[in-house]
Structure 1
Amino acid sequence: MTLDYSPFLPWPLLAVLTGVVLLIAVFAIWRGIRGAWIRTLAALALLAALANPVLLQEDRDQLSTIVPVIVDRSQSQQTADRMTMTDDALASLKTQLARFPQIEPRFVDVNEDRNSDVPSTRLFDALTASIADVPPSRIGGAIMLTDGEVHDVPGVNQALGFDAPIHGLITGKPNEFDRRIEVIKAPRFGIVNEEQQLVLRVFDDGPSPGGVANVTVRLNGDEIATLQATPGQDTPFSFKVARGGPNVLEFSVAGIPGEVTDANNRAVHIIDGIRQNLRVLLVSGEPHAGERAWRNLLKSDASVDLVHFTILRPPEKQDGTPINELSLIAFPTRELFVDKIKDFDLIIFDRYQDRANVLPMLYYDNIAQYVENGGALLIAAGPEHASPESIAMTPLASVLPAEPTGRMIEQAFYPRLSEQGRKHPVTRGLDGSGDEPPHWGRWFRSVDVDRPQGQTVMVGADNHPLLVLNRAGQGRVAMLLSDQGWLWARGFEGGGPHVSLYRRIAHWLMKEPALEEEALTARTSGRTLEITRQTIGDAPGDAVVRYPSGKTENLPLTQTEPGLYKAEKRMDEIGLFEIRNGDLTTLAHVGAVDAPEFKAMISTTAALKPITDKSRGLVTRVVNNAGAVTVPPILPVRGQVRVADNDRMAIRMTNETVLKGIDTLPLFAGFAGVGILLLAFGAMWWREGR
């Protein structure tokens, strides 16, 4: 209750009147004028009435004490045991808080920072956001329900923004242990078939069981080695890059019974294979208009070392020119097809016919074995392939995908994509192939073949095979059954995509991963997983995604082009994802490999203890020795919490109130004021009447 004034006259005027009254009163009392005291009291009562004193009574309500409860729902909390502990502890905590009507809890679920490429558990950021609209004096404390793996704990000397205890309720069990594996150092690029080295390390978090760990190494899905790694020590590993383009190295360490999770028992590293100085052997059977197209294409690629021979003077061509006047280079057949044949990445026979005096039959057998052992062979055929001197009549026939009938098809036609060709990555989407007729020039002859094997991706006149692709042993063979691709290079009738076609054929033959007919790939962009399925068959169905936590999900693959299916989804977990579709499997890592959220998985009280000690809070596990979930009782404290309690969670109760209204009572209003004034003036008149 307080006293206030609401004067009827301005304060300066009241001050002047008061001064005048006091001067008159002093003068009257000094002169001894009869009734001076009574007159002074009556004048002061009148001045008090003009000042209008008011008695104020405030109506206030007690404000609640805010207690934020921060619940860790990050990925390290997503094990079955910890989720159960968290839910049970949260239910018990809600029951306790409900007993205190003056405590207002604010429950906040916190996932890892999903907008970051390096996810982490940031409970203190969530705490700050939850109390941004609350004065510090109303905050009674904070409770964090977590496994202790918190990555934004402020320093001991860093201000929290309020003076109240912070308590940590830790899920998980004491003495937990977990085994994980990381790639410590590895190259991003490597030359194909050259030795590369990386360093990996196995970590044992918590009490280590000791001994060595077995690490299985897979390259592009194929197991290539088994390592013995000592936990805590670097383990070097040497390997050869298998192919050009992305190569996926997967390291899997054997799990330990009882470890927290096996989600971090695998690590993946992607190394891009670079082909250095691809060696291509181009053998032209005779000079013709088309050989320049092949030569120009191969010479324009700086990474290709081209060895080109043209049979300018076959043995049957005798024009009487003396040998000493010829400047031709002898065809080094033995050196090329016996001694150094394994050094070539691709062999091209361009309109070549069998000449016994040039290549003995044994050399054709060497070429066939070269293909069977992983080599690449391209046959660009012309009329010679339909003749009795065709190389299809040699031991090379064992790897050729099509057998000539001996007939040439002399007819104008537009090269078209077959049904398989529309899906095959070598020919899919060739510029102009979507039109009918195709938006390119015509060809005028092709070699007729019988019973082609593999995939016929382009057809000529009357749907006769034009481009056939096939595998032979570990190698690959392509047959282009026309020698008139040069018409496209010359721009005849608008030309055609000869550069794209020739280059794709060559890259497919050299096993470029992007041109595989059946392939499953996955890549990540931030937290988004992008899956690509390539097939020349029917719709492949859904992709099965296995999350790092172990759960699985089916993602439907949507066709974007013939033979090309894709799926895309933003993931709510980080770590190594396994994607399957049919017999194909691939891996992708979402988020940074060294993300704090996934790096350590054992529960701990150590991270929060400095901040709880500073704030006089409590940090304890929610699971007791008997395995039951228990939550410490809440202790309301009036005033500042000065001492930490080892068994209870102290909450500082606020003294803050809210003003609901004010009751006013004018002291000189109504009958009371009139009575006082009448009494004063009546006493004055009574004294005057004496």
Structure 2
Amino acid sequence: MTLTIDPFLPLPLIGLAALLAALLVALGFYRRQRGVLIRSFALAFLLGALVNPLILNEEREPLSTIVAIAADRSQSQDVAGRTAETDKAIAELKAELSRYPGIEPRVIDAARDDGSDTHSTRLISSVLGVLQDVPPARIGAVIAVTDGQIHDLPRDNRLAGIDAPVHGLITGRKGEYDRRIEIVKAPRFGIVNQEQEMVLRVIDDGRPAGEPVEILLKINGELTGRIDAQVGQERRIRFSLPLAGTNIVEVSVEEIAGEITPINNRVVQSIDGIRENLRVLLVSGEPHAGERAWRNLLKSDTSVDLIHFTILRPPEKQDGTPINELSLIAFPTRELFVEKIKDFDLIIFDRYQHRGVLPILYYDNIAQYVRDGGALLLVSGPEHAGSDSIAYTPLSSVLPAMPTGDMTVKPFFPRLSELGAKHPVTRGLHGAESEPPHWGRWFRSVAVNPPDGNVIMDGPDKSPLLVLSRVGEGRIAMLLSDQGWLWARSFEGGGPHVDLYRRIAHWLMKEPALEEEALTARGRGREIEVTRQTLGPAPKEAIIRAPDGTETTLALKQAEPGLYRGTFKTRSTGLFEVRNDKFATLVHVGAVDAPEFREMISTEDKLKPLAEASKGIVHRLDDGSGTISLPQILTVRGQVRIDDPNRMVIRMTDETVLKGITSLPLFGGLLGLGLLLLGFGATWWREGR
């Protein structure tokens, strides 16, 4: 109840009237006039009526005390039964708080997916975000149910806008230990087949360093190295990248018995392989219009070191010119095809025929070069169908198609075969989607027997035009026409000769993006994009294994012929394994050094400074008995000045909400009228005597 006024006249006028009344009363007392005291009361009642005093009665309802229960839902809580422990503790805590009238528990599932790329436990940010619309006076306490691994604790040990105790209920058990491996330093890219270096460290959290451990190194799924390392010390490991493009480098360390999780016992690093200048040997059997197309393409690529020879004077050519007057360079056959053949990434025979320039034994050397991992491209013209064709040399052991001895001479449109529409070398070539293709015509091709490799382009009457094949560790391609230069000269609109030639060369040099059968996966934020290339039927569902061991199937839908994709959304961070048919690959979601996996053992130490500064406590739920125990609750009014080491203090709020107001005028109604009549009546009675 409160007393207030609601004057009928402005207060300055009422004040002036009160001053005049006071002067009249003083004058009456000075002259000792009869009835002056009664007149004083009458004037006072009149002034009181003008002031109009009111008694206000407010009807208020007490507000509840908000107790925030922050449930840590980060990935470190998914191990060792901590999730079940958290859920049980929250249920018991809510039941215990329900015994206290006026307490409203508010559960906050914190730090599972805050939309950031930090991949850390941001529990405090989640709490402050949810409570930002709650007045600080209503917050009675913040109770965090967590493993203690919180990565956004305030440096000054104060929660902005919250003046209440902060308590920690710690999941997990005492004496936990965990082994993890971390990448201290690693390159983001490296030159293919050159030595790279990575710095690693194995850490045992919660236990002293023991015996040396073995670290395994895998590149693109293949085991390439083993080293021993002392726990806690940095160790350098050297390796080389086998492929251009993305290489998945995986390092792992053996598990130890009893550790809480093996999730962080292996990590991966994606390293882009960059080829040093590719060494290409181009041998043209004779000058012709098509050799310039190949030469211009290879010379325009700054990453290619091209060595080009054209056979201008074969041994059988005798015109009487003295040798000392010839300006030609002798063909260094032994140096190229014996001593340095392994230095070349690709060898191209452009309309080459056997005319005694290369000894017959050298063809066998070239065939062995292919089997050992080399790349060979044959661009065939009329000479390939003749008796001097290199198909009748020891090179035939690696050729996917043998000539019949005939040439097909008639105009035709090169077309993609049914297999070529799916093959990454020819898939999506500009102009191939129409019938006939928006390409210029060619006019001759070499007839061959049914080939062993993949025919990805057809010539006249659906005869093979472009054949790709694998031999041992190497690859070979046969382009059964020398008319590609017509596209380069824009004959009848030309064609995609640059894309075609470049893709053939890159496939021969094992570019990962051009593999016919491949499974790749890459992380984009919180999504995993799975890509499957195949020349066969539609693949089955992909299986994705999460860091916690759970498996999920993902349907792959056709994006292009021979190309299937699927996107998997995840809320987890870490190393995922993707499998499809006989293929498997790894992908890491989030930062490799994500704080969530640096330390996995539960701890009371990180939350203690914040709890002590706010008069809260930190209590481990499991004391070793296998069951959880909650500390008692102590409710207090007003400021929390001391903490209780055994009980969770909750500051009860005194805040209320106004529901309604009733007013009572002191000089209103019959009471006010009676007082005024009494005053003036008494004055009249006294004056009448």
> What TM-score do you get using the length of structure 1 for normalisation?
0.96
Instruction: Report if the CA contact (8 A) 2:216-2:252 is conserved.
Output: yes
Instruction: Report if the CA contact (8 A) 1:413-1:461 is conserved.
Output: yes
Q: 2:65 is matched with which residue?
A: 65
**1:29 aligned onto 2:21:** no
Q: Write the letter of the residue equivalent to 2:590.
A: G
Looking at structure 1, the residues matched to 64 and 106 of structure 2 have their Cα atoms a distance apart, in angstroms, of: 12
Judge which range, 152-161 or 258-267, deviates more: 152-161
Q: 1:412 is matched with which residue?
A: 411
Instruction: Report if the CA contact (8 A) 2:209-2:231 is conserved.
Output: no
The secondary structure found in structure 2 opposite 1:100 is coil
Q: 1:614 is matched with which residue?
A: 613
Instruction: Report if the CA contact (8 A) 2:573-2:589 is conserved.
Output: yes
Instruction: Report if the CA contact (8 A) 1:156-1:614 is conserved.
Output: no
CA shift in 2, pair 1:684/1:559, >3 Å: same
Q: Write the letter of the residue equivalent to 2:244.
A: G
List per-residue Cα deviations over 1:578-622 (Å, max 9, x = no partner).
111111111111111122122221111111100100001011111
CA shift in 2, pair 1:645/1:313, >3 Å: same
Q: CA-atom RMSD, angstroms?
A: 1.7
List per-residue Cα deviations over 1:506-565 (Å, max 9, x = no partner).
111111111111111122233332222111111112221111222121121121111111
Superposition pairs of residues 577-656 of structure 1, within 5 angstroms: 577-656=576-655
Give, in angstroms, the shift of residue 114 of structure 1.
4.0
Looking at structure 2, the residues matched to 277 and 159 of structure 1 have their Cα atoms a distance apart, in angstroms, of: 58
List per-residue Cα deviations over 1:445-492 (Å, max 9, x = no partner).
111111201200111011110111001111111111111111111221
Instruction: Report if the CA contact (8 A) 2:157-2:610 is conserved.
Output: no
Judge which range, 413-422 or 147-156, deviates more: 147-156
Give, in angstroms, the shift of residue 503 of structure 1.
1.2
Give, in angstroms, the shift of residue 688 of structure 1.
3.8
The secondary structure found in structure 1 opposite 2:133 is coil
Judge which range, 521-530 or 162-171, deviates more: 521-530
**1:394 aligned onto 2:393:** yes
Superposition pairs of residues 179-578 of structure 1, within 5 angstroms: 179-208=179-208, 210-355=210-355, 357-578=356-577
Q: 2:163 is matched with which residue?
A: 163
Judge which range, 253-262 or 421-430, deviates more: 253-262
Looking at structure 2, the residues matched to 114 and 16 of structure 1 have their Cα atoms a distance apart, in angstroms, of: 67
Instruction: Report if the CA contact (8 A) 1:244-1:272 is conserved.
Output: yes
Give, in angstroms, the shift of residue 336 of structure 1.
1.4
Instruction: Report if the CA contact (8 A) 2:181-2:200 is conserved.
Output: yes
Give, in angstroms, the shift of residue 89 of structure 1.
0.3
CA shift in 2, pair 1:32/1:197, >3 Å: closer
Give, in angstroms, the shift of residue 101 of structure 1.
2.2
The secondary structure found in structure 1 opposite 2:295 is helix
Q: 1:178 is matched with which residue?
A: 178
Looking at structure 2, the residues matched to 443 and 42 of structure 1 have their Cα atoms a distance apart, in angstroms, of: 126
Give, in angstroms, the shift of residue 157 of structure 1.
5.8
Give, in angstroms, the shift of residue 158 of structure 1.
4.6
Give, in angstroms, the shift of residue 57 of structure 1.
2.2
Give, in angstroms, the shift of residue 442 of structure 1.
0.9
Judge which range, 201-210 or 621-630, deviates more: 201-210
Give, in angstroms, the shift of residue 206 of structure 1.
1.4
Looking at structure 2, the residues matched to 294 and 12 of structure 1 have their Cα atoms a distance apart, in angstroms, of: 105
**1:17 aligned onto 2:17:** yes
Looking at structure 2, the residues matched to 486 and 53 of structure 1 have their Cα atoms a distance apart, in angstroms, of: 108
CA shift in 2, pair 1:50/1:273, >3 Å: closer
Looking at structure 1, the residues matched to 276 and 227 of structure 2 have their Cα atoms a distance apart, in angstroms, of: 30
Q: 1:110 is matched with which residue?
A: 110
CA shift in 2, pair 1:69/1:595, >3 Å: same
The secondary structure found in structure 2 opposite 1:131 is helix
Looking at structure 2, the residues matched to 86 and 653 of structure 1 have their Cα atoms a distance apart, in angstroms, of: 25
CA shift in 2, pair 1:197/1:162, >3 Å: closer
Q: 2:137 is matched with which residue?
A: 137
Give, in angstroms, the shift of residue 209 of structure 1.
6.2
Looking at structure 1, the residues matched to 330 and 32 of structure 2 have their Cα atoms a distance apart, in angstroms, of: 153
Give, in angstroms, the shift of residue 365 of structure 1.
0.9
Give, in angstroms, the shift of residue 102 of structure 1.
0.6
Looking at structure 1, the residues matched to 440 and 114 of structure 2 have their Cα atoms a distance apart, in angstroms, of: 53
Looking at structure 2, the residues matched to 243 and 651 of structure 1 have their Cα atoms a distance apart, in angstroms, of: 62
Give, in angstroms, the shift of residue 398 of structure 1.
0.6
The secondary structure found in structure 2 opposite 1:264 is helix
List per-residue Cα deviations over 1:605-654 (Å, max 9, x = no partner).
11110010000101111112211012212211112211111111100111
> What TM-score do you get using the length of structure 2 for normalisation?
0.97
Q: How many residues align?
A: 689
